[in-house]
Structure 1
Amino acid sequence: MIIGYARVSTNDQNPELQVDALKKAGAEQIFQEKFTGTLRERPELSQCLRTLRQGDVLIVWKLDRLARSLKDLVEIVQDLQDRGIGFKSLTESIDTTSSGGRLVFHIFGALAEFERDLIRERTMAGLEAARARGRKGGRKPSLSKTDTQKAAAMLLDPKITKTEVAQHFGVSRTTLNASLARLKKASVNSSINEQAPQG
């Protein structure tokens, strides 16, 4: 069975265009949404997805009628594929019942993953920027080798405590101790290498 889904927004100048196109494409039943919103606010889409059975094909006039984002689109179509349901978009000429159409959605899936990676990178960049401005968020970074050497030099003064040094560099005492331990280990390894007989 071919089932159509149409979402008509207030900006559509010709709301019947979608429905007519779906009928022409062979839709035997059409679910028509009268307003915009998230997936949870679209009861016709929810009903449409529940109605579809294995071997059916869902058709839409355009991809943006079905989903609000690439991520949502990929999730919906993947769910349809897992249930043995085909998907067609008339405007973009996408048809997952063909090998070429399935390939397109593999690419869409990769793009959605790429989009998620970009969001993660932006989030991490935001945390780094916030830390640089002295705001809290995420774990404090360890001291750089240069700052650790400065900290070690400061601690040569018996009047300066580790707590004061840690506060000076904006890290915890635990982080300071770990950085100092790494510096000491690196120094020991360097000394051993220098003393090793040359072959």
Structure 2
Amino acid sequence: FAEFERAMIRERTSAGLAQARIEGRIGGRRRKLGDKQRREVAESVISGRKSGAEMARLYGVSEPTVSRIVAAYRQQSENQALI
């Protein structure tokens, strides 16, 4: 009986997640920085106005987060240059 109940829970959970995706909702943690803030972080670090550590302290995020933002921004810029 427990296996049957577990299968039913799994089925309902999958159906709920699928419906949420259809409605445009996604799971997971919300981003701490918005798009505008992410762009500002990347442009400040790339231009040399501020270091990654300074931007991390300013926005209350870790230095690896700033590094990922800058790397993603550079990758996006390269992809747009190729188009």
1:23 aligned partner? none
2:51 aligned partner? 161
Structure 2 CA distance for partners of 1:183 and 1:144, relative to 1, 3 Å: farther
Partner Cα separation in structure 1 for residue 44 and residue 62 of structure 2: 16
What pairs with 1:36-55 in structure 2 (closer than 5 Å)? none
Q: CA RMSD in A?
A: 3.4
2:68 aligned partner? 178
2:23 aligned partner? none
- Of structures 1 and 2, the larger Rg is shown by 1
The gaps in structure 2 that reach 5 residues or longer are: 17-26
TM-score under structure 1 length normalisation: 0.28
Partner Cα separation in structure 1 for residue 64 and residue 32 of structure 2: 10
Alpha-carbon deviation of 1:142?
7.6
Partner Cα separation in structure 1 for residue 51 and residue 11 of structure 2: 47
1:151 aligned partner? 41
1:111 aligned partner? 8
Identity of counterpart residues, as a percentage?
A: 17
Segments ≥4 residues shifted beyond 6 Å: 115-118
TM-score under structure 2 length normalisation: 0.55
Q: Which has the higher strand share?
A: 1
The gaps in structure 1 that reach 5 residues or longer are: 1-72, 79-105, 119-124, 133-140, 194-199
Partner Cα separation in structure 1 for residue 9 and residue 48 of structure 2: 55
Partner Cα separation in structure 2 for residue 191 and residue 152 of structure 1: 17
Are residue 192 (structure 1) and residue 82 (structure 2) matched? yes
Partner Cα separation in structure 1 for residue 8 and residue 58 of structure 2: 44
Aligned residues: 71
Between 1 and 2, higher relative CO (CA 8 Å, sep ≥ 6) is seen in: 2
CA displacement, residues 49-81 of structure 1 (integer Å, 9 cap, x when unaligned) = xxxxxxxxxxxxxxxxxxxxxxxx61xxx4xxx
